[in-house]
Amino acid sequence: MIGVDRVALRGLKARGHHGVFPEEREEGQTFVVDVVLGLDTRPAAADDDLSRTVNYGVVAEEVVALVEGDPVDLIETLAERIALSCLKHAPVQEVEVCVHKPGAPITVPFDDVTVTITRSRV
């Protein structure tokens, strides 16, 4: 992350129907998303003013809506959509998104599958 402050949302859970296999689309599964927002928190801290920072409650609702929304084949695509949504918030300069797919259709024992991306305005 560039030299900015960070606001993190970890473990956002939502049920989605993402995946390339028909059973993933039909049955759905739980996805978990971590988002780290890079922004300058000094203006908000100086005035103790929510309007001068990012409202992480709103961001959380937007992330869940994207996971629950239109299905995509790849969690890479889902991560990109989430990142673009986060960057629409004016104070956010950079975002790291990690999408977890713990129920991925893999034939061997595993704990989790993740895709992590970083996007910025610069």
Helices (H) and strands (E) in the chain, counts: 4, 4
Q: Pull the structure tokens for residue 113.
A: 């599958």
Largest CA distance in the chain: 53
Nearest partner of 8 among 52, 60, 73, 81, judged by Cα: 60
* Candidates 30, 60, 101, 114; catalytic one: 101
Active site residue 88: no
Q: Which residues are catalytic?
A: 101
